[in-house]
Chain A
Amino acid sequence: EDKVVQSPLSLVVHEGDTVTLNCSYEVTNFRSLLWYKQEKKAPTFLFMLTSSGIEKKSGRLSSILDKKELFSILNITATQTGDSAIYLCAVDFRNQFYFGTGTSLTVIP
């Protein structure tokens, strides 16, 4: 069964647009929720979220977790072509990391 579901599956935007990527999950009592960016190589770490309602920011990227509603969002403002990638969400639950299938983001000039 899919413990982690990401939406949309794919997204095409113009440079400068703001995007919101969604991650919903089924498990409770997990250790953390993580966001990764995957280009044509291994996933690279973006954020780790453990507490509900606390926003994490890194440049144009930000993320927040809602443990009550069981979802997280990843925001990217002023998108650039270099943001084009697959964005993966994962839940750290009982020593396993459950990944969603990712959202494929394409930013066109």
Chain B
Amino acid sequence: NAGVMQNPRHLVRRRGQEARLRCSPMKGHSHVYWYRQLPEEGLKFMVYLQKENIIDESGMPKERFSAEFPKEGPSILRIQQVVRGDSAAYFCASSLTLMRGGRYEQYFGPGTRLTVT
């Protein structure tokens, strides 16, 4: 039973390029969350998606950032025209849709460390 998978684990981009981060949730999970962790800061919520729907994107910058979770395939976080300030660790988490046995927790992927040069 594979956990949440993210790739790539490390990504280096020059300023102005596009970064594409992928997240495959745990089997059976249809809710995906993206977080950004800047150096010396905590995890910050970015966006919450279900299959083919963006439920809440209030934590995502209005420009250059977009996310999708298609019916088939992984969830994608896309950052266009990256800037140095985008350098961070980006974590994806997934969860079940329903309370099951009283447990409803998120499972995190290993993260993608983006470095913008």
Residues from chain B with Cβ under 8 Å of A43 in the complex: 43, 91, 108
Give chain A interface residues in 29-48, CB to chain B under 8 Å. 31-32, 34, 36, 41-45, 48
Of A36, A42, A99, A102, the most chain B CB neighbours within 10 A belong to A42
Q: What's the least CB distance linking A92 to chain B, in Å?
A: 8
Given A41-B110, A42-B91, check contact A32 B104 (CB 8 Å): yes
Bound CA–CA A77/B105 (angstroms)? 24
* B25 CB–A CB distance under 8 Å: no
Closest to B110 in A: A42
Closest to B48 in A: A95
**A34–B105 contact, CB under 8 A?**
yes
How many residues of B are counted as interface, with CB atoms below 8 angstroms from the partner's CB atoms?
A: 25
Of B42, B55, B111, the most chain A CB neighbours within 10 A belong to B42
**B108–A48 contact, CB under 8 A?**
no
Residues from chain A with Cβ under 8 Å of B93 in the complex: 97
* B103 CB–A CB distance under 8 Å: yes
**A96–B42 contact, CB under 8 A?**
no
Residues from chain B with Cβ under 8 Å of A99 in the complex: 35, 42-45
**A45–B105 contact, CB under 8 A?**
yes
Contact of B106 among A41, A97, A98, A101 (CB under 8 A): A97
- A65-108: contact bitstring with B at CB < 8 Å (1 yes, 0 no)? 00000000000000000000000101010011111111000000
- Of all A-B residue pairs in the complex, the 10 with the closest CB atoms, nearest first, are A101-B42, A42-B108, A99-B43, A99-B42, A96-B45, A42-B110, A43-B108, A45-B105, A48-B105, A42-B111
18 A–B pairs (Cβ distance < 8 Å), ordered by A: A34-B105, A41-B110, A42-B109, A48-B104, A48-B105, A50-B102, A90-B43, A95-B48, A95-B55, A96-B45, A96-B48, A96-B56, A97-B33, A97-B35, A97-B93, A97-B106, A98-B45, A100-B42
